[in-house]
Structure 1
Amino acid sequence: MKNIIITGTSRGIGHELALQFANAGHQVLAISRKIPQTLLGNINITCLSVDLSNEKELSKVNDFLSKSWKQIDGIVHNAGSLILKPFSETTQDDFESIYKVNVFGVANLTRIALPYLQNGSHVVTVSSMGGIQGSLKFAGLAAYSSSKGAVITLMELLAEEYKERGISFNVLALGSVQTEMLEEAFPGYQAPISASEMANYIFDFTLTGNKYFNGKVLQVSSTNP
């Protein structure tokens, strides 16, 4: 049994992932702004309502960890925020709101978790093909895609900084997955992979990927991008 933190569990990949880990007997700390009824009542899931864009709210995570968990075996930074706007209309406030979730939220949660991470722990960050240098880019996603590029570099740096402690940091750069966020951004587009299917992959990678990778970015996409 492992202790796993997952963010963005109110819907989509994060929701499916929380259920998969819990059903496999692992203990899950499910973090999202809204707590879905479908996760409540599961004896292996603890739900916390946290706005990752607000650093002060992360004190709830710190309080839980200090009282309930002695160690963290895995983190899946799955939560994400997206704005689809022409760059000429994308304000600094827009950029800041995206970066607060996609970059600062990842950094702040990881910092809080560090005292509980140990040799063999695996931190997995869900990025996007849009954040990969040289990949096909979509107009209107300047804030989102650049934030996903920033978090890739952050994880590479942390892998180097904490390699002596045996903590692994890897990134999965996803292509299109059929989630509510994708439907909201691109109505009518049908992705080739469902949220449940991608959750299957991330579940296995979180448990075993650190045996083979550290400080790496894996492109998980069957389409371009």
Structure 2
Amino acid sequence: MSTQKNIIVTGTSKGIGLEIVKILSGMGHRVLALSRNEKPLLDLNLNAVNALAFDITREENYPILEDFIKNEFDSRVDILINNAGKLLHEKFTAIALADFKAVYEANVYGPVLMMQKCIPHMPDTGHVVNISSIGGVQGSVKFAGLSAYSSSKAALINLTELLAEEYKEKGPSFNVLALGAVQTEMLEAAFPGLKAPVTAEQMGAYIADFALRGQQLYNGKLLQVGKSTP
């Protein structure tokens, strides 16, 4: 039986998501990379990678995803990595409700839609990996200005645990990685000038490996991944 996997990754135009796709492609897996900006990956012309312009928050886009799964992945999704996210760094009372909702659309409702569409095509050995933040972990150090972001990431953690329970008899497995500080554009936007001890390449390699093998040992687990916060 082929070891090649059909893998979907969101948030792939830069940073960790881009590195995940590059690593999985180099390992010989088939990857569907979804991002609002597909050009960075198209320019790389990676083997067995399809990059589509796709906004995970817009429900009307999902027939495109379903058609791809059926026609290009033969209706099988082995791994889904919900990496896309939106960060808002703003004083709580200054956040318009529409902006608060936009963070939840990207960090919670987008992954909900992705999972609803992919789970029916996943085998019992399938693996859903949700990317959260240490800031969303109960009892972790919290930072002013991240009320929308960190609370949405907490919701994603809880949702992952709930789905692992709901699907424990037939699969797939669900796990969530709460990332610490990683040197990305998102980190720079939230904490200008901060130098993280972990690169996007390093974190991308860890997530790719975990997505391929983590379900052998874990289901419904929250793993904190990072040398430091934020």
Cα distance between partner residues in 2 of 1:140 and 1:224: 15
| Amino acid corresponding to residue 3 of structure 1 in structure 2 | N
Aligned match of 1:103:
108
Mapping 1:117-156, distance limit 5 Å: 117-156=122-161
Aligned-residue offset at 1:58: 2.1
Cα distance between partner residues in 2 of 1:95 and 1:191: 26
Aligned match of 1:25:
28
Cα distance between partner residues in 1 of 2:12 and 2:42: 9
Alignment RMSD, CA only? 1.1
Aligned match of 2:218:
213
Aligned-residue offset at 1:59: 2.1
Aligned-residue offset at 1:37: 3.4
Q: Do the aligned residues in 2 keep the contact of 1:121 with 1:168 (CA within 8 Å)?
A: yes
Aligned-residue offset at 1:184: 1.7
Mapping 1:190-209, distance limit 5 Å: 190-209=195-214
Aligned-residue offset at 1:3: 0.6
- Any idea what the Cα deviations from partners look like across 1:132-170, whole Å, max 9, x if unmatched? 000000100000000000011111111011111121000
Q: Do the aligned residues in 1 keep the contact of 2:119 with 2:172 (CA within 8 Å)?
A: no
| Amino acid corresponding to residue 39 of structure 2 in structure 1 | P
- Any idea what the Cα deviations from partners look like across 1:170-189, whole Å, max 9, x if unmatched? 00000010001111221111
Aligned-residue offset at 1:110: 0.4
Aligned match of 1:83:
88
Aligned-residue offset at 1:94: 1.2
Cα distance between partner residues in 2 of 1:213 and 1:39: 34
Q: Do the aligned residues in 1 keep the contact of 2:13 with 2:37 (CA within 8 Å)?
A: yes
| Structure 1 runs (4+) greater than 4 angstroms displaced | none
Cα distance between partner residues in 2 of 1:52 and 1:136: 29
Cα distance between partner residues in 1 of 2:195 and 2:63: 38
Aligned match of 1:37:
40
- Any idea what the Cα deviations from partners look like across 1:91-111, whole Å, max 9, x if unmatched? 211111001110000000100
Q: Do the aligned residues in 2 keep the contact of 1:19 with 1:39 (CA within 8 Å)?
A: no
Aligned-residue offset at 1:224: 3.8
Aligned match of 2:67:
63
What is the TM-score with the length of structure 1 in the denominator?
A: 0.97
Cα distance between partner residues in 1 of 2:70 and 2:136: 34
Q: 2:19 aligns with which of 8, 16, 20?
A: 16
Cα distance between partner residues in 2 of 1:36 and 1:183: 22
Q: How many residues align?
A: 225
Cα distance between partner residues in 1 of 2:144 and 2:108: 21
Gaps of 5+ in 1: none
| Amino acid corresponding to residue 55 of structure 1 in structure 2 | E
Gaps of 5+ in 2: none
Aligned match of 2:5:
2
Cα distance between partner residues in 2 of 1:214 and 1:28: 23
| Amino acid corresponding to residue 192 of structure 2 in structure 1 | P
Give the fraction of aligned pairs with identical amino acids, expressed as a percent: 48
| Amino acid corresponding to residue 16 of structure 2 in structure 1 | I
Cα distance between partner residues in 1 of 2:223 and 2:157: 10
Q: Secondary structure at the match of 2:117?
A: helix
| Amino acid corresponding to residue 26 of structure 2 in structure 1 | N
